[in-house]
Amino acid sequence: MKDSIRHLIQQALTRLTAEGVLPEGLTPAIQVENTKDKSHGDFASNIALMLAKPAGLKPRELAEKLIAALPADPAVSKVEIAGPGFLNFFQNRDALAQRLEAALADPHLAVRKAGAAQRVVVDLSSPNLAKEMHVGHLRSTIIGDAVARALEFLGDTVIRQNHVGDWGTQFGMLLAYLQDQPVECETDLGDLEQFYRAAKKRFDESAGFADRARGLVVKLQAGDPECLRLWQRFNEISLAHCQKVYDRLGVKLGPADVRGESAYNADLAQIVADLEARGLLSESDGAQCVFMDEYQNAEGKPLPVIVQKADGGYLYATTDLAAMRYRSQTLKADRVLYFVDQRQALHFQMAFEVARRAGFVHEGMDLEHMGFGTMNGADGRPFKTRDGGTVKLIDLLDEAELRAYALVKGKNPELDEAELRRIARAVGIGAVKYADLSKHRTSDYSFNFELMLSFEGNTAPYLLYAYTRVASIFRKLGKEIAEIGGQIDLQAEQEQALAAKLAQFAEVVNAVAAKGTPHVLCSYLYELAGLFSSFYEHCPILAAEDEAVQHSRLRLAALTGRTLKQGLELLGLDTLERM
Ligand code: ARG
């Protein structure tokens, strides 16, 4: 709808330009917004305010001329001037009802991508395998998964890349420790975190051990079969830990999506050689670096992208350059989205720029760092266990389910055990995911079990419950929407407000995909649930005055239910029919 209003305004501008009211050559970005207060129409544009000056007119005068020049459109019932010169568009109720009917008849809810389908690489999760996955990786995994789902729903081809840290000097220390363990490594690696800490301790305390660890790195890099075997075994176990977390979270990530840093080892020498051939390399303290004029530190000293250390070793950035080239040349991506901590923003800005200058990525490929803030504890400080250790993801999820179980049992003591567990899983895991997704990703956020498990406010329990209310209407009725005839007729104010919100779903999903911002979908679903509540209160459904009204309201309720379910699914949340 916004697009078609933009199009109407564009036509009016063209007409006014031809008539000489507007000067030639204006190409304004036409802005159309949803209004908050529906008595001011459904959409508003500030175009007359923007163009008043070049037109040499008062904004309200130009607004009048624009309205006169707007082509008629059956979807728009009237256009008014408001305040200093805003244009307010009222949508036609019948046209709106028809759009909702089209959505209801479509398994895809009439959601289409604005623009052509693309191949999109989503770089997400990407933990370091030397250690156990911790809360820091939660955000990348959850936010990346939600955006990947939105892209897929819009018809893009999504290629998930779990760029795990499976290479580097810390593996020497782990292999040395592994060699020393007489016990089966499986049992011993049950707790990776502890294993890592023990190896690190030995490394720091024993010079002999440290020497052996360094030697093992060299052997590993040289492809020594025994070292490679141990290294592979270690990574398998670590990846299995990650997979458990993904499955628990209901995230669409599997072994086939893993392409770790080590996958690029064979390309790194060539990356450095190509940079050299392009004249981009310079040596600094024996290291091979790329300097770019626009990147300097606070003192105005140039900042390097180091691609090879003095000892010949390659770095994180070198691997990222190789990965970019692979994603461009082999995966043929149109877009690559990196869901990585905001603190790596500069790394990505610089690496993207080097890749472009070196011609590692094709011209049209978009590289976008989708950064996110830190996850803090309820006290606003970085999330830690009581004794100051890192919180393991799996423990966090266990606690979420436990708390949800107690909560649900308190509300419905009569439910049987299996049902309770199922609900607790959806609510507990859903709450953790939703709490993260509902905040703007760039801000830091406080992890707080009480808030995320509340049945009030913008939370998973609230939305899951809203969905069950719709489901219960149809359960009581004993019929599905497909068996019910009639059509949507928007009379009551609450029906119109709900309808206008339902009609925005496609636009919201497109925004999530374009900007990588799932919180936009969360706010939308929260508002939708709120509007459904007022509709439900004011407009009797099963007790409606006549059949036509009942059918119309049932259709609105059905579309609300499907929109909530689909929206939650895009966020990676399982819905429940009752709770
Ligand atoms: N393993 C890295 C870390 O935990 C994140 C990798 C992100 N992806 C990338 N292509 N650099 O910090």
Q: What is the ipTM of this complex?
A: 0.99
Identify the residue whose C-alpha is closest to ligand 1 atom 8: 163
Ligand 1: residue of 264, 340, 349 to mutate (most ligand atoms within 8 A of CB) is: 340
Rounded to the nearest angstrom, the distance between the alpha carbon of 125 and the centre of ligand 1 is: 8
pLDDT score recorded for residue 186 = 54
Does 446 share its domain with 408? Answer: yes
Is residue 415 domain-shared with residue 491, that is, in the same domain?
no
Q: Indicate the pLDDT class of residue 188, thresholds 50, 70 and 90.
A: low
Task: Place 282 in a pLDDT band, splitting at 50, 70 and 90.
Answer: very high
469 and 444 in a single domain? The answer is: no
Q: Output the residue whose Cα is nearest ligand 1's atom 5.
A: 126
Tell me the pLDDT tens digit for each residue of 475-492: 999 999 999 999 999 999
Tell me, yes or no, whether 7 and 32 share the same domain: yes
Q: What's at 259, amino acid-wise?
A: R
What percent of the chain has a predicted confidence (pLDDT) above 70? 98
Nearest-atom index, ligand 1, CA of 164:
1
Please check whether residues 397 and 425 belong to one and the same domain. yes
Provide the 10 A C-beta neighbour count for residue 59: 21
Q: DSSP letter string over 462-491?
A: HHHHHHHHHHHHHHHHT--GGG--------
> Do both 43 and 82 map to the same domain?
yes
Q: Which of 253, 281, 314 is the endpoint of a domain?
A: 253
CA dihedral 97, 99, 104, 107 (to 10 degrees): 180
Averaged pLDDT, 519-530:
98
Supply the CATH number for residue 38's domain: 3.30.1360.70
Residue 176 lies in a domain: yes
What pLDDT score does 273 carry? 98
**Ligand 1 centroid from CA 144, angstroms:** 13
How far apart are the CA of 128 and the centre of ligand 1, in A? 8
Mean pLDDT of 91-99: 94
Atom 4 in ligand 1: which residue has the minimum CA distance? 127
**pLDDT over threshold 60, residue 517:** yes
498 and 448 within one domain: no
Indicate if 486 and 552 belong to the same structural domain.
yes
Domain end marker among 428, 452, 476: 452
**Cα–Cα distance for residue pair 258/141, rounded to 1 Å:** 13
Residue 539 placed within a domain: yes
Work out how many domains the chain is built from and give that number. 4
The answer on pLDDT for 180 being more than 90 is no
Stretch 360-377: mean pLDDT: 95
Question: pTM, whole model, 2 decimals?
Answer: 0.92
512 CA distance to ligand 1 middle (Å): 22
| Segment 258-274 mean pLDDT | 97
Q: Between 47-55 and 59-69, two packed helices, what is the crossing angle to 10 degrees? A: 110
Q: How far is the CA of 476 from the centre of ligand 1 (A)?
A: 50
Measured from CB, residues less than 6 Å from any atom of ligand 1 are: 123, 126-128, 163, 165, 320, 323, 338, 340
Cα–Cα distance measured from residue 219 to residue 222, given in angstroms and rounded to the nearest whole number: 5
**Which pLDDT does position 190 carry in this prediction?**
64
Is the Cβ–Cβ distance between 509 and 515 less than 8 Å? no
Q: Is residue 197 part of a domain?
A: yes
| Mean per-residue pLDDT over the chain, rounded | 93
Q: Binning pLDDT at 50, 70 and 90, where does residue 189 land? A: low
Q: Are residues 518 and 564 in the same domain?
A: yes
pLDDT for position 135: 78
Domain assignment of residue 305, yes or no: no
Contact residues for 310 (Cβ-Cβ < 8 A; gap 6+): 285, 286, 287
* Same domain membership, residue 85 and residue 20: yes
Other Cβ atoms closer than 10 A to 129: 28
Are residue 13 and residue 47 in the same domain, yes or no?
yes
Does the residue 495 lie in any domain? yes
Choice from 139, 163, 196 to test ligand 1 binding pocket (greatest atom count within 8 A of CB): 163
List, for residues 303-323, the tens digit of each pLDDT value. 999 999 998 889 999 999 999
| Residue having the nearest C-alpha atom to atom 3 of ligand 1 | 127
CATH of the domain at 558: 1.10.730.10
Residue 236 lies in a domain: yes
Q: For residues 439 and 517, state if they share a domain.
A: no
Q: Which of 197, 228, 253 is the last residue of a domain?
A: 253
Which position has the higher pLDDT, 38 or 356?
356
**Is the pLDDT higher at 105 or at 25?**
105
**Residue 84 domain flag:** yes
- 290 in a structural domain: no
Q: How confident is the model at residue 179 (pLDDT cuts 50, 70, 90)?
A: confident
For the record, the structure tokens of 207 come out as 């010079």
DSSP symbols for 223-251: T-HHHHHHHHHHHHHHHHHHHHHHHHHT-
Domain of residue 414 covers 393-452
